[in-house]
Amino acid sequence: MVPTRRTYGLLIAGGAAATVLATFTGGGGSGGGGRVALALLAVLCFDGAVLLAMLWDGIMVKQRRVQIVRDPLQRLSIGRDNHIELQITSKTAADILIYDRYPVAFDGPDMPLRAMIAALNTASSGSLDQTVQTLDYTVNPKRRGDYTWGDIDVRQRGPLKLAWSGWRIPATESAAVYPDLIGLRQLTIRLALQSTGTLKQKRKLGVGTEFAELREYDVGDDPRFIDWKATARRSQPLVRALEPEREQTLIILLDRGRLMTAQVQGLSRFDWGLNATLALALAGIRRGDRVGIGIFDRTMHTWMPPKRGQPYLRQMIEQLTPIQPTLVESDYFGAVTQVVRAQNRRALVVAITDVIDQTASAELLSALVRLRPRYLPFCVTLRDPHVDQQAAATQPDISGAYEKAVAIDLIAQRRAALSRLKKSGVMVLDAPANAITEALVDNYLRIKARALL
């Protein structure tokens, strides 16, 4: 039980009143000591009454305690604001403070959370009226893994507002942090809308290799795609519309070596890359492709051969979630060699990594060039937007000018390395790490639409 500010105020007011009475009432002489004693007795009685009222207030809370239940924790997404909901049930109006012990490694609101429960008017349970209110807040985890969520500590203020009565609600449970599942759900909706036609674009003649449909000839259509047999049967010109071939092969190589351990916008480069990997795998599976994933550093740490189907995506999520980056140099040539040995058919090979300069990227260049022309190599690099900001900022002092010069030099060396890759016939995507997922999926869809594979 903890006194409220009102209790402290009343106790202080009683002492102040006694001091005033003892000092300014009556005259001097032998009666002064009696007045002081009387004032002290009065303040003791007053403060005693306040303390008794506070105790009674705390006891009354025990009869009016609210009930709090945390909704079952779902799989949390790294780097996202995940909503946590608390269901509060009360038989009376209440003023409460809630300490929900989420993991200290998460970014979240300062505790306690305060809730004011209104008078009874919202729900009925059996024969007892009760109010049900939902309190929600968000947490943002920065690392994948399993965490322990603690109990809920509650303080409730009594009806006289003189005491806070506290107790603990057992609510310990495990919380698992996964890659960006929220982003995957959003991407699923986007791809579904495109497939059902809400965002459907008109098929272009000649774009693709697989027959899609016959439709009437329109002004501007290429006469080479007129189907003369169908035209003869229908007595009107019909053309063949083509779409990108389905059931192609997409292989994603995700680097988990030294370069991917750096922190960018609160997450490691590897986490941004893993989010992009799963999003690209989802897009590939939704487009009917066979998707394979390799996680490599000095060796091929994890290899998931190309397969189709939504269940395979769930298997990918479960198998790849525990993997963390490591401080070793990556063997690009070894990773590409394993792909060549395992994959005989032509495939789009996406390597997600980072580059520094031409010297450091020489092995990456030779490895990806080896894939030409049998495969279609695609190098994806995760840029740090903070370096771009430093290069573009106006610096008022010498140290800032040096930082800007270093940033400009890093960007120049990076562009030179990526330019070498492009000149060697390797497709390149260089985007900020925190925006890589959407850019990568859009590039993949363009590759499919243009039948580049």
- What CA–CA distance (Å, rounded) separates 66 from 59? 14
| DSSP H helices in 25-69 | 31-63
- Where are the strands (E) in 234-299, listed by range? 238-243, 249-255, 263-264, 267-268, 290-296
CA angle 422, 424, 427 (to 5 degrees): 40
145 contact partners, CB below 8 Å, separation of at least 6? 176, 177, 322
- Where are the strands (E) in 217-281, listed by range? 238-243, 249-255, 263-264, 267-268
- What CA–CA distance (Å, rounded) separates 327 from 261? 7
For tokens 């939902």, the residue is: 134
3-state helix, strand, coil in the chain (%, to 5): 40, 30, 30
- What CA–CA distance (Å, rounded) separates 300 from 429? 23
369 contact partners, CB below 8 Å, separation of at least 6? 377, 424, 425, 426
Rounded to 5 degrees, φ, ψ at 126 are: 65, -130
Q: What is the pLDDT of residue 237?
A: 85
153: left (phi over 0), alpha (psi -120 to 50) or beta: beta
CB 297 within 8 A of CB 312: no
Closest CA to 418 of 351, 370, 372: 351
- What CA–CA distance (Å, rounded) separates 419 from 115? 58
- What CA–CA distance (Å, rounded) separates 386 from 373? 36
Name the burial class of residue 75, with classes exposed (0-12), middle (13-18) and buried (19+) by CB atoms within 10 angstroms of its CB: middle
- What CA–CA distance (Å, rounded) separates 47 from 425? 86
Element (H, E) at 348: strand 348-353
Helix (H, G, I), strand (E, B) or coil at 160: coil
Closest CA to 239 of 275, 212, 268: 212
Q: What is the pLDDT of residue 290?
A: 94
**Spans in the chain with pLDDT lower than 70:** 18, 21-35, 119-129, 195-213, 220, 241-246
Q: What is the pLDDT of residue 123?
A: 46
- What CA–CA distance (Å, rounded) separates 362 from 330? 12
- What CA–CA distance (Å, rounded) separates 439 from 378? 13
CB 294 within 8 A of CB 303: yes
Q: What is the largest CA-CA distance in the chain?
A: 131
How many C-beta neighbours within 10 Å does residue 263 have? 13
Q: What is the pLDDT of residue 196?
A: 64
Q: What is the pLDDT of residue 31?
A: 53
At residue 57, what is the residue type? D
DSSP state of 422: H
The length of the chain is 453
